Every structure is written in structure tokens, then in C-alpha cells.
Amino acid sequence: MSAAASAMGPVADARPVPAPMPAAPVWGLRLGTGLCGILIAAMMSGLNDRVTGITLTDIAGARGLAGDDAHLLGTIYAATQLAAMPVASWFAATFSLRRFHLAITSVFLLCALLLPLAPSFGWLLVLRAVQGLAGGAMIPLLMGAALRFLPPAIKLQGLGFYSLTATFSPNLALWFAASWLDGWSDWRLTYWQVLPIGMLVLGMVWWGLPQDPVRPERLKEVDAPGLATGPLGLMLLAFVAEEGERLDWFHAPLILGAAIASVALIAAFVVSEWHHPQPFMKLQMVGRRNFALGLPLFMGILVVVIASALLPAAHLAEVQRFRPLQIAPIGLIISLPQILLAPLVSALLYRQWVDARHVVALGLALIATSCWLGMQVTDGWMVHEFWLAQACQMVGQPLAVVPFLYISVSTLASPAEGALYSGLINTLKTLASVLGAAIVERLLVTGTASHLTTIADRAGRLALPGLPAAAETQAVTFAIADAYGLAALLAALLIVPTLLLKHVPPPPPAKTA
């Protein structure tokens, strides 16, 4: 019998449930190794995305690309990564998790190997797009596998390690980017960094995961309209978010047209998925209280988390003109302790006196405090001045994310829903990250311009030496402080819907041998 959701409180659902998954094998070293391989692959995908995004300017210089072309490389990866999220689990169930994961990991690594060797910009785009599809497919498979294979006694630990894809990888990326560019002075390593760990992943998944039967008959049942509309709609939405600032948002016909098309395509996808008997994602889950309240809550948490990663780095880069190697400690403060904090928070949730909602609220309060501390930023702040704010983030992020995942997973009515849930939650997670980065960028651009105008008005016609540069530095600092303030407000407001979630009792504690 599968141990996908037996530790989570079932919720009745009148909708038909997809065909059951193959029974989970006995838990042990071999299966644990396979799941660790899937975890490493998911973090590898997220790390690859962030590192190459940070180093785009250097890659553009090395390849002789224009700034717009370099930006498009990041956009195409984000778009195809998002497109793969909702459908990956369905294809894994069709072709077997083991074979599908080995295939997409091999494609991902092959693209990483070839990208620095691409002969033209066109080839760069094609390889990056294919790598985005493969990388995006890796992430939903992690949660689906954890919900299917992990015994109830350690399922919460699996959710804790899954949370590392949101808290560990994004904050570690800056250190990797700095190491390859400033330490090794070789931009090609930003692509090749995944090759050694990817080969390890292939071995772990090949040896550790069981071989499920391939089910080609499922291809006859595929939601063809949903497959044609959903991924394309999400790609266009990512394009709008990534390229909007550069093209002046909806003043540009291309952005306006892409936005309208994305809304229409996603609406068609939702309608098709809602009525299809074998959907990619079970949208009917939004009728469950914890899921309906939890989805916007989760997206809000991730937007604040993304802002907390981007704002201190933006200050040190724009105001202090630091290189990535000098900024890297900012991310390490948050990322490295997550390896210990995530399982500790999971263990806390097993205590019978703990209410997961209160833990999420505490995490949000710490994140809000961190952002409030960031509001005090001045143009003299260096890495050291951010430490207290980052320390609050370090503790607050796992406290907010891990128990939220437990609360939302508790809505699953059967083990077979795990893969359907995974596709939906990971699509929203990636979408929140893309939109969060776009929001932060927009706030900084408009805030800097507004404060620069105010400073210029106050300065009048004084022609003091160095005034323009000083004014721009102050304007950027004020814009960062404003963005921190909005992030603090959002984190504080999210506490209210957190407390309105339905109470989920702690799972039964693990039995000792």
C-alpha cells in the first residue's frame, strides 16, 4: 500500500480520482538514495537558474552579446521552466518516474555541456529553452516522489527537505556565481557547475528508484487542449514578467499582446483541466479551505522571500558597487543553516502541543521583522549591517514554509493526488518567484526615479561637485528601504489568513524500534 498521504488528514472530494499509483516499495537505503537524488536534482535546477541569471552580464560580455540578447537568455529559461511544471508529473506517471527522471536529467546535463560551446546566439536560445524544460520538470517530481514513497513517520522530514528548494538554493546561488566569476574567472563554469553533481544524480536515481511499468495507454487520455494551452500561456506570462520592465510594460504592443494571450490561454487551460477526467493538475482542490486560503498565502510568502534575497544584494551592488564575491556572505547567512533548520522545524511539528498555523505566523512575524530592519538601510550599510535582518530571515523562512506545506498537504484525499498536488503547488511556486522578481525590479526602478526627482527638486539649481552621483546613491537607497517596507507590510498582513486556516493536528510521532 502506498504511503503517500496516510499521515495527512483526508478530505472528502466527489471528483473522480486518477488511477492509483503502483505500490511503494519497502523503505530502505536504496529507495532513500533514489529520493536524495531527486532532491539534489531539484536543487540543482533551481541553483542553475539563479546562478546563470546573476552572471548574465558577464556571460554577455564573454560571448559578445548585446544586453537585450543576454536578458532574453534568462527569460527563455524562466518561461520554459514554468511551462514544464504543470505537466511533468503526468508524464512521469506515464513513462515511469525512474525513466522520465533519468531522461530529463540527461537532457539537462547535455545542454549544460553544450551551452558554452554554442556557435551562435540562436543555438544559445534553443539550448537554454530545452534546458529550462528539463530543469522545470525536475522540481515537481520531488514532492510527488516524497508523498508517494516516504513512510508516514518521516513524511514531514521529506517536506522539510523539499522546502530547501525555496530557501536554500536561491540564497546559495550568489556564492556559486561569485566563485566561478571572481574566484575562477571562468564564466563557462556557471553552466558546467551542474555536470559533476548531475552525474551523481543519474547514478543515485538509476540505482535507488524502482522501475514502474510504462503506461503508454495514458497518452490516449491526455488532456490535449490543456497541453496546448497551459504551458504556452505560462510561457507568455513569464515573458511578460521578465521582459516587461525592459520593454516599458503595457506601453509596448508586444508585452500587451503577450499578456492578453497568456490570460486567454491560461483560462482555456483551467476550463479544460477542470472537466478532464485525467488532468495534469487537480484544480478542484481549490474548493478545500486550506488549499483555497493557502495558495495566495504561499505565493505571498515566496514573494517576500524573493524580495529578501534580492534587496540586500541590490543595495550592495548598486550603492557600494560590490562584486558578487563580496556580496556572497549575505546569501550564505540564510542558506547554509537551512540544512539543519528545515528538519528541526519538521521535528517540531510532531509535538502534540504545536499548532502548525502558529508556527507559520511566527515565521511570518520574523520575516516581517527582518524587512522592518532592512527599512533602516542607509548608503553606508555594508554586509555586516544586514546580518541581523538576514538572521531573522534565516529562522523565519523555514518556520513559515515547512508548516505551510504540511497544512496544505493535509488536504490530499488519497495517495494518487500527490502528483496532481505537486504540479499545482510547484507551478505556483515558480510563478511567484518570477512575479516577485519582476515586482521588486519595478519597485526599485519607479522608486529610484521618484526619489531622484524629489532630491533634485530640493537641491534646486545648486551645482555642487559630485551632486548627481550622490543623489542617485541616495535615491537607490530610499527605493530599497521603501521596497523593504512593502515586504514587511505584506508579511505582516499574511499572518491573518494564516490563522484562518483549518487546524490540522500534528501527525503521530515516529515509533522507535
Predicted local distance difference test score (pLDDT) of residue 398: 92
Predicted local distance difference test score (pLDDT) of residue 2: 39
pLDDT, mean over the chain: 86
For the domain spanning 26-222, the CATH number is 1.20.1250.20
Task: Name which of 10-19, 23-32, 395-404 the model is least confident about.
Answer: 10-19
Residue 294 sits at the vertex; the CA angle it makes with 293 and 297, to the nearest 5 degrees, is 95
Instruction: Output 426 or 256, whichever has higher pLDDT.
Output: 256
Predicted local distance difference test score (pLDDT) of residue 408: 83
At residue 389, does pLDDT exceed 90? Answer: yes
Predicted local distance difference test score (pLDDT) of residue 460: 62
Report the topology of domain 281-513. Answer: Growth Hormone; Chain: A; (1.20.1250)
Instruction: Output 119 or 7, whichever has higher pLDDT.
Output: 119
Average pLDDT over residues 348-370: 93
Structure confidence by residue, pLDDT tens digits, 218-253:
999 899 999 999 999 999 999 999 999 888 898 899
Handedness of CA 468, 473, 476, 482 (dihedral sign): negative
Residue type, 199: M
Predicted local distance difference test score (pLDDT) of residue 54: 80
Alpha-carbon separation of residue 91 from 19, 95, 233, 277 (angstroms): 14, 6, 19, 16
Predicted local distance difference test score (pLDDT) of residue 248: 85
Q: Where in the chain is the domain with CATH 1.20.1250.20?
A: 26-222, 281-513
At residue 84, does pLDDT exceed 80? Answer: yes
What is d(CA 182, CA 167) in angstroms, rounded to the nearest whole number? Answer: 24
Confidence bin at 13 (pLDDT 50/70/90): very low
Q: Could you tell me if 85 and 204 are in contact, meaning their C-beta atoms sit under 8 angstroms apart?
A: no
Structure confidence by residue, pLDDT tens digits, 48-64:
888 887 888 788 888 88
Confidence bin at 23 (pLDDT 50/70/90): low
Instruction: Output 477 or 177, whichever has higher pLDDT.
Output: 477
Structure confidence by residue, pLDDT tens digits, 269-306:
999 999 998 888 888 888 788 888 888 888 899 899 88
Q: Whole-prediction pTM value?
A: 0.85
Average pLDDT over residues 110-137: 93
Confidence bin at 20 (pLDDT 50/70/90): low
Structure confidence by residue, pLDDT tens digits, 440-449:
999 999 999 8
At residue 146, does pLDDT exceed 70? Answer: yes
Neighbours of 22 (CB within 10 A): 15
Instruction: Output 162 or 480, whichever has higher pLDDT.
Output: 480
Task: Name which of 72-76, 288-292, 401-405 the model is least confident about.
Answer: 288-292
Predicted local distance difference test score (pLDDT) of residue 309: 83
Predicted local distance difference test score (pLDDT) of residue 104: 96
Angle between helices 97-114 and 29-54 (to 10 degrees): 30
Task: Name which of 37-46, 91-100, 222-231, 466-475 the model is least confident about.
Answer: 466-475
Confidence bin at 127 (pLDDT 50/70/90): very high
Average pLDDT over residues 85-107: 94
Q: Write out the E strands in 359-424.
A: none
Percent of the chain with pLDDT over 70: 91
Hey, what's the cell of 510? 515516529
